[in-house]
């Protein structure tokens, strides 16, 4: 694999990832862009102890452009985009409208494919492996950024989720703080270790799911996927490597080799959940990795969480009063029923 780093016209970094070492990426960004500027701020809610980011410049970000003006497609002739090359495999660049930037972290866009009409589920295993390589490389690089404490590689798919660019892509957030969800995980992890005299809560959770078996979706050689016992979303799957590792960088060759097949299987099952006539399933998929400054990082278990807000054909799970106001989830689908359905659609084509 080959990595080529260049700069866009406004100074932002762009990185091409290619499967072949002889790939040449020397196209220049010909757009007349002013130097990139952004202003982020982080405030802390004293009652909840949670950090909140502010990025007022994002109000002017690109919003549902027509396909022939997509900023994530390769540049063609005089139609210039964020990708100067006329073709690419995987491209990562600094977000033009970042939530966090400078001393307060970094935000990047990951373009999975040059095909505007594609989806991650439609990628080949080789293409998915290249995306995994990009996620891993960016995690390792952002670990060196003085303003980044935690990295989250994720994909939002579907207008229902709030996606404003239809081209298949994801994002990487380098947070300047440890996120609230991770903070709660770490507190539970520490409490379990204290209560059990050194036990690991992630290990115990996976052992319980294997022993129960009702919510297991995929049990592969190196990866294990299940619907959690207390899933919040209508259809939610957690994917773990069998070997506990703190982040993507720590995966071994066997785990990397098997991941594309397992992950593509999960995404394709999600697209079959609601029948052949249903539109593509909207989802959020993201990697939970150990914060960089965490003590005993090996206690954290890397895992991917994949979920959809669609609860049945034509119906979405809205976060209304209870969920949004109090953070108290009430789900319409039992986790065991969700797992049954995800196993059922494994054989459908």
Q: Which residues are catalytic?
A: 169
SS3 for 267?
A: helix
Residue closest to 5 by CA, chosen among 129, 152, 108, 151: 108
What's the 3-state SS for 133-181? HHHHHHHHHHCCCCCCCEEEEEEEECHHHCCCCCCCEEEEEEECCCCHH
Nearest to 205 by CA among 215, 102, 281: 215
**57 CB burial (10 A radius; 0-12, 13-18, 19+):** middle
| DSSP per residue, 191-238 | HHHHHHTS--HHHHHHHHHHHH-TTEEEE-SSEEEE--TT--SSEEEE
Give the chain's count of helices (H) and strands (E): 6, 15
Structural contact between residues 217 and 223, judged by C-beta atoms closer than 8 angstroms: no
Q: CA 84, CA 6: separation in Å to the nearest integer?
A: 10
> Which token pair is 277?
């006539």
């Amino acid at each position: 694999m080959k990595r080529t780093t260049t700069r866009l016209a406004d100074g932002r970094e762009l990185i091409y990832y290619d499967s072949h070492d002889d790939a040449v990426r020397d196209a220049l960004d010909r757009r007349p862009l002013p130097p990139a500027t952004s202003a982020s701020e982080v405030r802390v809610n004293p009652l909840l102890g949670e950090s909140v980011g502010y990025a007022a410049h994002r109000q002017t970000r690109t919003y549902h452009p027509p396909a022939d003006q997509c900023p994530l497609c390769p540049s063609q002739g005089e139609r210039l985009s964020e990708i100067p090359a006329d073709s690419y495999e995987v491209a990562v660049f600094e977000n033009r409208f970042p939530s966090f930037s400078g001393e307060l972290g970094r935000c990047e866009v990951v373009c999975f494919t040059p095909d505007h009409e594609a989806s991650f589920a439609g990628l080949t295993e080789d293409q998915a492996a290249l995306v995994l390589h990009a996620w891993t490389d960016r995690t390792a690089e952002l670990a060196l950024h003085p303003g980044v404490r935690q990295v989250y590689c994720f994909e939002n798919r579907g207008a229902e989720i709030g996606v404003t660019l239809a081209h298949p892509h994801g994002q990487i957030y380098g947070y300047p703080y440890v996120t609230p969800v991770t903070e709660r995980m770490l507190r539970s992890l520490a409490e379990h270790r204290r209560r059990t005299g050194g036990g690991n809560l992630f290990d115990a959770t996976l052992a319980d799911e294997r022993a129960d078996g009702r919510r297991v979706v995929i049990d592969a050689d190196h990866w294990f996927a299940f619907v959690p016992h207390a899933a919040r979303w209508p259809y939610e799957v957690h994917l773990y490597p069998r070997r506990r590792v703190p982040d993507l960088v720590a995966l071994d060759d066997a785990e990397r080799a098997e991941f594309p097949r397992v992950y593509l299987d999960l995404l394709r099952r999600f697209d079959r959940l609601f029948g052949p006539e249903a539109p593509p399933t909207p989802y959020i998929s993201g990697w939970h990795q150990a914060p960089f400054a965490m003590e005993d990082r090996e206690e954290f278990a890397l895992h991917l969480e994949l979920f959809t807000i669609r609860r049945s054909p034509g119906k979405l799970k809205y976060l209304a009063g209870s969920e949004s106001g109090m953070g108290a989830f009430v789900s319409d689908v039992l986790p065991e029923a969700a797992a049954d359905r995800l196993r059922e659609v494994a054989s459908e084509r």
